[in-house]
Amino acid sequence: MEDFVPAARAAGGHRMTLFTWASERSFPSLPPPRPRYFDVAPDARVLAHCHWQPDPPACPTLLALHGLEGSSQAHYMRGLADKAFARGFNVVLLNQRNCGGTEHLSAGLYHSGLTGDPQAVMNELVALDRLASIAVVGYSLGGNVALKLAGEYGAAPPAVLRCVCAVSPTMDLARCVAALERRGNVLYEWNFVRNLKRRMRRKAQLAPGRFDLRPLRGVRTVRGFDEAFTAPHHGFRDAGDYYYRASSLRVIERVAVPTLIVSADDDPFVPADQFRDRALTANPRVRVVITRGGGHCGFFAEPDGPFDGFWAERTAVGFAARQAGV
């Protein structure tokens, strides 16, 4: 794996985060995706956008999970798909419940540790599509979900799961939410809260009487939203209980599949100190790479020839390819 060297024009945690988030990207070599719906619970269906190789069972598959309030159309999801498809992978870009314009498909909400959905998707891909090799790659919230999924499998992961890669994962949710509340991160929190509120209003319109929106007016932070909506909806005692039980750091010592974690020392709201936890560093199946620079889900280096500069995407696909033997 090549070392990450930040592009000078995007150096700095905030600049890198915002530069990559705002980048306009196109992928002319990537064929149009095929939509696929998965019934993951009696009251929940999720949408994936899939890129299939000509003979899908003969190829490894990359299952990608996006971050908070993202979707399968996030630039890093499509960039990951472009690189993985070129390496011979089938690619399944999964929308979390209600994301990507799918509020009408599920009765409830999603949360940062909802591992049952990707597990159900993997089960269907094996049973119906006869896929035999799957790598899971998650960004931010999706990285936490991917790591928690691997930890919950423990010593007996399914043979189909070859590896997990997490980019800028929110492994310790309480610590990450506290970091998000710092004054310098007000723009990120404002954006997350704005989108969470919009989603709740859309959900309420689709299911009149199901959600009490009165607390929404007083919500100013992600923690406030989780206290008022996420935690009670999913049966957690409060936001603190939710953050503890949904954090992958709680189960990381049980991960038994090859796992790569990539994060940056200047990530504005995913503190690097969470990756020094003994439960993580003592697990020989997990490799942690903390780069100098990179921001949150940024990792933009100087482009070079066919390399477009998005280092984390290339690193994740390279890791998955090595584990899949392609």
Distance of CA 73 to the CA centre of its chain: 13
Q: Are 263 and 270 in contact (CB under 8 A)?
A: yes
Q: Above 90 in pLDDT, residue 2?
A: no
Mean of the pLDDT values across residues 304-316?
Answer: 95
Percent of the chain with pLDDT over 90: 95
List, as one string, the DSSP characters of 245-301. HH-GGGTGGG--S-EEEEEETT-SSS-GGGGG-HHHHT-TTEEEEEESS-TTTT-BB
Mean of the pLDDT values across residues 3-18?
Answer: 96
Average pLDDT over the chain reads 96
Distances in whole angstroms, Cα of residue 208 to Cα of each of 46, 107, 131, 211: 21, 11, 40, 7
CATH (one of 3.10.130.10, 1.10.10.10, 3.40.710.10, 3.40.50.1820) for 8-171+248-324: 3.40.50.1820
Which residue among the candidates 172, 226, 267, 308 is catalytic per the annotation? 267
How far is the first Cα of the chain from the last one, in angstroms, to the nearest whole number? 16
Which residue among the candidates 140, 168, 248, 263 is catalytic per the annotation? 140
Q: Above 90 in pLDDT, residue 305?
A: no
DSSP helix/strand/coil, 27 = coil
Query: pLDDT tens for residues 176-194?
Result: 999 999 999 999 999 999 9
Mean of the pLDDT values across residues 208-215?
Answer: 90
Mean of the pLDDT values across residues 226-248?
Answer: 96
Radius of gyration of the chain (CA): 19
Whether 71 is a known active-site residue: answer no
Provide the pLDDT for residue 24: 87
Mean of the pLDDT values across residues 68-82?
Answer: 96
**Rounded CA separation 100/94 (Å):** 9
**Rounded CA separation 17/15 (Å):** 5
Q: Above 90 in pLDDT, residue 1?
A: no
Q: Above 90 in pLDDT, residue 126?
A: yes
Whether 267 is a known active-site residue: answer yes
Mean of the pLDDT values across residues 61-88?
Answer: 96
**Predicted confidence band at 144 (pLDDT cuts at 50, 70, 90)?**
very high
**Predicted confidence band at 133 (pLDDT cuts at 50, 70, 90)?**
very high
Q: Above 90 in pLDDT, residue 13?
A: yes
Whether 234 is a known active-site residue: answer no
Q: Are 14 and 184 in contact (CB under 8 A)?
A: yes
Q: Above 90 in pLDDT, residue 267?
A: yes
Provide the pLDDT for residue 207: 87
Q: Above 90 in pLDDT, residue 88?
A: yes
Every domain of the chain and the residues it spans: 8-171+248-324
Percent of the chain with pLDDT over 70: 100
Which residue among the candidates 49, 51, 111, 296 is catalytic per the annotation? 296
Provide the pLDDT for residue 18: 96
**Predicted confidence band at 216 (pLDDT cuts at 50, 70, 90)?**
very high
Mean of the pLDDT values across residues 207-226?
Answer: 93
